Amino acid sequence: MIHELAETCNGPDEHIPEIYIRPEASSEEVISNYHGEAIPIIDLNKLLSPQSSEEECVKLRSACQYWGFFLLINHGVQDEVIANLKRDIVDFFSQPLDTKKEYTQLPNSLEGYGQGFVFSEDQKLDWADMLYLQVHPSDSRDLRFWPTSPASFRQSIDAYSSETKSLALCLLEFMAKAVGAKPESLLGIFEEQPRGLRMTYYPPCRQSDKVMGLSPHSDVVGLTLLLQINDVQGLQIKKDGRWLSVDSPNGALIVNIGDTLEILSNGKFRSVEHRAVINPNKERISASLFHYPCENMVIRPLPEFVKDGKPRTTASQEKKIKENTRCRNLGIAMAGARSVGSLPVPNVQALAETCNGPDEHIPERYIRPEASSEEVINNYQGSMAIPIIDLNKLLSPQSSEEEVVKLRSACQYWGFFQLINHGVPDEVIANLKRDIVDFFSQPLDTKKEYTQLPNSLEGYGQSFVFSEDQKLEWADMLYLHVHPSDSRDLRFWPTSPASFRHLSLLNRRCLKVGNPLMHTHQRLKAWHLCLFEFMAKAVGAEPESLLGLFEEQPRGLRMAYYPPCRQADKVMGLSPHSDAGGLTLLLQINDMQGLQIKKDGKWLSIDAPNGALIANVGDTLEILSNGTFRSVEHRVMVNPNKERISAALFHYPCENMVISPLPEFVKNGKVKYRSISYLDFMKQIFTQQLDGKSRVETLKLDQ
């Protein structure tokens, strides 16, 4: 950590590590005393007073338009709240390193103690340590990262977050009024939305002209409230091409506009580049409270701010917002699955060994009368057999048209199909099968090293368990986020067997189909994206209509182990449900079948030929296709004599999208499903037990 590093290299003969050396720290002009136009000061009392509000609003608009920063006085946050916060933040950073390291950031998370936005080994580093916490909504707080020492720390943070909540909304309201817009135009976007607090410690450095506390940047958020914790200044903003030092009077807050608000305001408010420099003799400490917008919104100029009909924001600005927001979301949610979790339950593999004797009883929570009460068809004959789609034929100009018709029929009437000649090398599949079997064959204590944590579905355990009296499934699972690669939480990726992490099937980027007519661009395209492309073509839509939603988006792998059960007719391996995502690709790991799908009101057993993949449509794709493609209810049954093992690869859409029927699939003007944000949809799924197709049914509109 920098705090400790600073203590070792602050002697007269000590050298600063090269990775911290920043020539630009002293190469640009800095103005310490800005004569004439000083940084604006906004008085909240005057904004609220009918006698002075109009005049102060003019000052506020000018500050947001020409400076992007202002000092806020008479802000109403109680002195005691601020004093307590300052005391506890100073006390936290004053603790021994080992104590602070108890709250160290985890991989792929910004929360906790460490640094932010470090993405490469040779990247220049900032001369600072930070503690970042998600403070609102309160149920998003990950208390693993909230220090318990000093004892009052959590209470001080909570009080400050509560006190500043109405303050930020008040400022947004007056900002809207300042340009003649309705207050609701901004309030509706930021009210009750996420807030994060970054507490930063900048150690002194004798050679302060060689290091940088915080690299030049603009904030990605809507609004930032900065509180200076001690009396050492260091903030600089860019004004007229030069750096201006900002001195914060005791008790004032420094407020600045973020990139999101610049775009929403169509450039009427400006996000401004700023940085933090280091003092040679004394540490600087600050606390920045970031106000984020609604997570699932599309950031674009609001109509109230586009009065001349000319949006002023660029694609590069919007891309910057998207990239920075994604970085923040990595630590908060991953397709909804990282913000929720499942209650711990007994290991089923171990349980099965104790209750498989002739006189043993299965615990009541696993007894499922419906397992044997519904009709099951084991051999579906004739034209009603589950469709088989040949990827070779889809790719061949001679057979593609006919195979596309079969693909449409499979997605429309079955929601399931078997995929053969898919191009995944036999060696890749064999290695994957071997390593998954080896993982589940290990002692329970070894597998438990990867146990799910509270509020997470990742790891070893079960999912969708939300109450103590809920019926349980006869299965154990290991669930991993596999794409994008920087979202992988390697705490849950087994190191035994040694080759497990090299699951190359997960990110297969190249088709190796033995078709000489396959074009080069098709060879380079991931095979799962080929299916989306041909599904779109099957209904006469542009391939990009689906590709753009799923390309480079999250994927998760669920490996499930279903132990044998002598009383198999009394238990259920996986409850009836439909998948939430866009597309699922299922690989049967051993030769034990068990998958059943609902067809014409009856359960149909599915036998997967060796080497084939089973593909099925998810709820998201059903909604996007306006019901043209169907997600189908399915379940897993247990064998009385032998375990079943499978691996399901889930393909999720873009996290921040609103799920609604795509225009390309609404050709008769009849929209069949109401819209819902994808994050809301996933939260519903991951906070309820599996229940058939109830989720998607609630979104259907009356026709």
What pTM does this model have? 0.55
At residue 380's C-alpha, the angle toward residues 624 and 635, to 5°, is 50
Residue 676: band (very low, low, confident or very high) from pLDDT cuts 50, 70, 90: confident
Q: 271 vs 502, which has greater pLDDT?
A: 271
Residue 103 has pLDDT above 90, yes or no: yes
Residues 138 and 221 in one domain: yes
Answer yes or no: is 417 within a domain: yes
pLDDT band at 342 (very low <50, low <70, confident <90, very high): very low
Asked if 73 and 131 sit in the same domain, the reply is yes
Q: Into how many domains does the chain fold?
A: 2
Burial 452-467 (b: 16+ CB within 10 A, else e): bbeebbbbbbbbbbee
| 603 located within any domain | yes
> Could you say which of 653, 677, 695 is where a domain stops?
653
Q: Where does the pLDDT of residue 83 fall: very low under 50, low under 70, confident under 90, or very high at 90 and above?
A: very high
Least confident of 58-67, 328-337, 427-436: 328-337
On the question of a cis peptide bond just before residue 150, with omega within 30 degrees of 0, the verdict is yes
Do the domain assignments include residue 362? no
What is the SS3 assignment for 196?
strand
Q: Is residue 199 pLDDT above 90, yes or no?
A: yes
Identify the bridge partners of residue 42 per DSSP, sorted by sequence position. 72
Whether residues 521 and 644 share a domain: the answer is yes
User: Is residue 370 situated within a structural domain?
Assistant: no
Question: Is the per-residue pLDDT at 632 higher than 60?
Answer: yes
Q: Which residue has the higher pLDDT, 341 or 592?
A: 592
Are residues 408 and 532 located together in one domain of the fold? yes
Q: For the segment 490-548, what is each residue's pLDDT rounded down to a tens digit?
A: 889 999 998 998 754 444 433 333 332 233 223 324 666 889 999 999 988 888 888 88
Residue 99 and residue 202 in one domain: yes
Candidate from 27-36, 330-339, 630-639, 667-676 with smallest mean pLDDT: 330-339
CATH code for position 319: 2.60.120.330
Task: Indicate the residue type of 300.
Answer: R
pLDDT value at 454 more than 90: no
Region 259-275: mean pLDDT is: 94
Position 12 in a domain: no
Mean pLDDT of 77-99: 95
Q: Do 392 and 532 sit in the same domain of this protein? A: yes
Query: How many angstroms separate the CA atoms of 178 and 167, rounded?
Result: 16
Same domain, 298 and 435: no
Q: Quick: pLDDT tens for 155-194.
A: 999 999 999 988 999 999 999 999 888 888 899 899 999 9
Residue 267 gets the label, from left (phi > 0), alpha (psi -120 to 50) or beta, of left
pLDDT at 33 over 80: no
Q: How confident is the model at residue 69 (pLDDT cuts 50, 70, 90)?
A: very high
SS3 420: strand
Q: Where are the alpha helices (DSSP H) in 94-227?
A: 97-100, 153-178, 184-190
Q: Give the chain's count of helices (H) and strands (E).
A: 22, 28
Least reliable range by pLDDT among 261-265, 277-281, 670-674: 670-674
Q: Which pLDDT score is estimated for 541? A: 87
Q: Which residue has the higher pLDDT, 427 or 36?
A: 427
CA 415 to mean position of chain CA atoms? 27
pLDDT at 334: 35
Residue 685 pLDDT level (bands cut at 50, 70, 90)? low
| Higher-pLDDT residue of 330, 387 | 387
Give yes or no for residue 602 having a pLDDT over 70.
Answer: yes
Within this chain, do residues 610 and 529 fall inside the same structural domain, yes or no?
yes
Range of the domain at 571: 386-462+475-653
Q: What is the pLDDT of residue 332?
A: 35
Q: Quick one: 233 exposed, middle or buried, by C-beta within 10 A (0-12, 13-18, 19+)?
A: middle
- Label residue 336 by pLDDT band (50, 70, 90): very low
Distance, CA of 321 to CA of 356 (rounded, Å) = 56
pLDDT of residue 132: 96
Averaged pLDDT score across all residues of the chain: 83
Is residue 131 in a domain?
Answer: yes
**Longest CA span, the chain:** 92
Domain annotation covers residue 201: yes
Average pLDDT over residues 13-29: 80
Label residue 683 by pLDDT band (50, 70, 90): low
Predicted pLDDT of residue 329: 39
Mean pLDDT of 359-370: 84
pLDDT of 267: 92
Note whether 260 and 161 are same-domain residues. yes
What is the spatial distance between Cα 518 and Cα 501, in angstroms, rounded to a whole number? 31
pLDDT for 655 equals 75
**Pair (314, 415) in one structural domain:** no
Summarize pLDDT for 638-671 with one digit per residue, the tens: 999 999 999 999 999 887 788 899 988 987 778 8
Render pLDDT for 293-325 as a digit per residue (tens, 0 to 9): 987 788 889 888 886 555 554 444 444 444 444
427 and 305 in one domain? no
Examine the domain organization and report whether 520 and 421 are in the same domain. yes
Among 301, 320, 337, residue at a domain's last position = 337
497 found inside a domain:
yes
Q: Which of 270, 304, 337 is the last residue before a domain boundary?
A: 337
Residue whose C-alpha is closest to residue 336's, from 599, 668, 680: 680
Scan for tokens 């004004």, then name that residue.
239
Report pLDDT digits (tens) over 606-630. Answer: 988 788 999 999 999 999 999 999 9
Phi–psi pair at 326, nearest 5 degrees: -60, -40
What the block records as the tokens of 79 is 């002195």
